[in-house]
Amino acid sequence: MSDNAGRAIKDRVRNYFEDTTRDYLKWYGTRRHHHMHYGFDRDLPPGGSPTSNMTRYLATLAGLFPADPSRPAPKVFDAGCGMGGSSILLARETGAQCFGANLVEMHARIAQAFAVRDAAKWGTPNESAPGAPAVPAGLRRVSARFLANDYTTPAFKPASFDVIWALESFCYAPDKEAWIHTMAPLLKPGGRLVLADGCSGRPPANRAEARAFELFLKGWAVPHFCSFDQIQKWARSAGLEVTHAEDITPDVLPHAWKIFRLGPIILPWRKMLHALGLVNEEKLLNAYAIYHQYPTLKRGLWRYGAFCFRKPG
Ligand SMILES: C[S@@+](CC[C@H](N)C(=O)[O-])C[C@H]1O[C@@H](n2cnc3c(N)ncnc32)[C@H](O)[C@@H]1O
C-alpha cells in the first residue's frame, strides 16, 4: 500500500472518531464503562457489563487472569486504546502496567482523565461491578498511561511488552500484515499478541447485501477486513505461534442486536438532520453502520474473531 493511501485511511479514521467521540460518551455508555467495542455475552453474570466481560475473556487468553500479585507487573501495550476501557480494567483487575496509544489525541487525553478519576474511586463500595473479580490488595495501584501515537509507528523499544492488546483497533490498520510484523518485535520472548476484531465472512449474495456491508464498513471508517486465515498466516510469518483462534460471533451477536435496535430510530432522524445541514456526513454514516452491522454479522458477511499469538521463548 502506498504512503498516500495509508495516510488517507488514517485521516478518515481520525475524522470519524473526532466527530463521533461525543456520541460514544453519551449514547454508547463510554463515559461510564470507557469501552468502545462490542460486548461478549458468554457466561455474562446477571447485571454484568458485556463490554467488560469481553475484556476479561481476552485477558484470560492473554494469561493476565488470574492475576498474580507476587510476580512483576506485566507490561501491556494497548494499541488503539480508545478511551481507555481495556487498560483501566486491566490495570485495576490484573495489576498490569498499561500503556495506551491512540491516533486520536482527544481519546488519549480522555482516557488519562478517566484513569485518574477511576483510581480515586478504587476501594470504595461502588467499585465492585457484577462479574468483576475481587481485586487482590497488592494490585490496587494506578498503572494506565496514555499517549497520542500512531500504532503503525510505535514509540517503543523492541522486547518492551508482555502483552500487546488490540481490541477492535486492528481493523483500522491500513496494512494489516505490516502491522502484525511491526508488533511482533515489541513483544518480549513468551509475550502474547491478543487481537479481537471483525474478520471477513462470506461474499455478498446480491447487490443489496454488498451495499449493506459497504455502508457498515464505511460508516465506521473501517478500510477493510481480512480473513481468519490471513491473520494467522501473518502472525506465523512474523515469528509468532497461534495459541488461540476462535470465531466468537455467537457471543457478540446479542450485543450487536442491542446496538442495532437504535438504528431504526437514529437513521431516519440523522438523514433528516443531514438534509437540513445540521449534522455532518460522518454522523450520518455512523447511523448507517449502526443499522447495518447486525444484519450483516448475523448473515455471515463478516465474523468476529478472537486471537492470541505467542512469541516463542
Ligand atoms: C473502535 S475503537 C476501540 C478502542 C479500544 N480498543 C476499545 O476497545 O475500547 C478503535 C480505536 O483505534 C484507534 N486507532 C485507529 N487507528 C489507529 C492508529 N493508526 N494508531 C493508533 N490508534 C488507532 C482509534 O482512534 C480508536 O480509538
How far is the centre of ligand 1, averaged over its atoms, from the C-alpha of 198 (Å)? 14
Distance CA 116, CA 64 (A): 22
CATH superfamily of 3-310: Vaccinia Virus protein VP39 (3.40.50.150)
Would you list the DSSP string of 149-212?
A: --TTS----TT-EEEEEEES-GGG-SSHHHHHHHHGGGEEEEEEEEEEEEEE-SPPSSHHHHHH
pTM: 0.93
How far is the centre of ligand 1, averaged over its atoms, from the C-alpha of 168 (Å)? 7
How far is the centre of ligand 1, averaged over its atoms, from the C-alpha of 36 (Å)? 9
Q: What is the pLDDT of residues 194-219, one digit of tens each?
A: 999 999 999 999 999 999 999 999 99
Q: Which residues contact 265 (CB under 8 A, 6 or more apart)?
A: none
Residue 74 Cβ contacting ligand 1 at under 6 Å: no
Beta carbons of 43 and 133 less than 8 angstroms apart: no
pLDDT band with cut points at 50, 70 and 90 for residue 222: very high
Residue 17 Cβ contacting ligand 1 at under 6 Å: yes
Angle between helices 228-237 and 176-183 (to 10 degrees): 40
pLDDT at 273: 92
pLDDT at 130: 56
**Confidence check: pLDDT of 145 > 80:** yes
Q: What is the pLDDT of residues 94-132, one digit of tens each?
A: 889 999 999 999 999 999 999 988 877 765 544 555 566
pLDDT band with cut points at 50, 70 and 90 for residue 271: very high
pLDDT at 1: 77
Q: Which three cell numbers stand for residue 127?
A: 467499585
Taking the domains of the chain in order of start, what are their residue ranges?
A: 3-310
Residue 37 Cβ contacting ligand 1 at under 6 Å: yes
Q: What is the pLDDT of residues 19-68, one digit of tens each?
A: 999 999 988 889 988 999 999 999 999 889 999 999 999 999 999 988 88
